[in-house]
Amino acid sequence: MADAVRHNLALFGPAGSGKGTQAGFLERELGVEHIATGEMLRQERSRGTELGQTLAAYLDAGKLVPDEVIVAMIRHRLADPQADAGFVLDGFPRTVAQARALQEMLASLERPLDAAVVLDVPTAQLIARLTLRARQENRSDDTPDVIAERLRIYHDETEAVLDYLGHSVPLVRVDGAQPVEEVSKAVLRAID
């Protein structure tokens, strides 16, 4: 392997900012594990388990799933050997409590977070993207009321996470309103 650099990244941005797209790009480009909490939660819900049914109530209302549930899921994924080469967290941490838990987890694994990348997109563009996604993917978590709630939660709670992480992790902001390829290039430049 020519490049033994490990990238441990967290990707931030409100719903519709392109986190999943950019995390997938980083997974392919850098060979890191894409850990998407939203996808993990939707898969658990689709299994129809008791946990899945509980999660459905949170997801359908646009509410955050309790910290202890998300932290346990992330701990499990980070312990997986597939994450040894690095990871990109997509949708985690969302609260300061989750950020603290992440820092503790990573310290115990001796794999600190290298950077927190924030995708900035104007609200009107986010709403347009999510409305389109709702039509294309028939997602129950992309209704107008749920979109508004998710954006409110992001600004109320997740922005505090950036303040918290910014004291110990490089925080880089990328214009997520650009064409996808330009955002990808900007993200790569930001983490190099």
The catalytic residue among 45, 77, 94, 129 is 94
Residue 160 has a pLDDT of 94
The catalytic residue among 45, 77, 129, 150 is 150
Which helix (H) or strand (E) segment holds residue 79: the answer is: helix 67-79
* 75 catalytic residue (yes or no): no
The catalytic residue among 19, 45, 77, 129 is 19
Can you tell me the distance from the alpha carbon of 192 to that of 184, in angstroms, rounded to the nearest whole number? Answer: 13
Residue 5 has a pLDDT of 65
* 189 catalytic residue (yes or no): no
What is the 3-class SS of 137-178, one letter each residue? HCCCCCCHHHHHHHHHHHHHHHHHHHHHHCCCCCEEEEECCC
Residue 59 has a pLDDT of 79
The catalytic residue among 111, 139, 173, 185 is 139
CB burial class (10 A; 0-12, 13-18, 19+) of residue 79?
exposed
Can you tell me the distance from the alpha carbon of 135 to that of 137, in angstroms, rounded to the nearest whole number? Answer: 6
Give the residues across from 12 on adjacent strands: 118
Cα three-residue angle 51-21-139, rounded to 5 degrees: 45
Per-residue pLDDT of the chain (192 residues; tens, 9 = 90+): 334 567 999 999 998 999 999 999 999 999 999 999 888 888 888 888 888 888 888 878 878 788 988 898 898 889 889 899 999 999 899 899 999 999 999 999 899 999 999 999 999 999 999 989 888 888 777 788 888 888 998 988 888 999 999 999 999 999 999 999 999 999 999 998
* 133 catalytic residue (yes or no): yes
The answer for residues whose C-beta is within 8 angstroms of residue 145's C-beta and 6 or more apart is: 62
* 100 catalytic residue (yes or no): no
**Full set of structural domains in the chain with CATH:** 7-191 (3.40.50.300)
The catalytic residue among 75, 100, 111, 133 is 133
* 94 catalytic residue (yes or no): yes
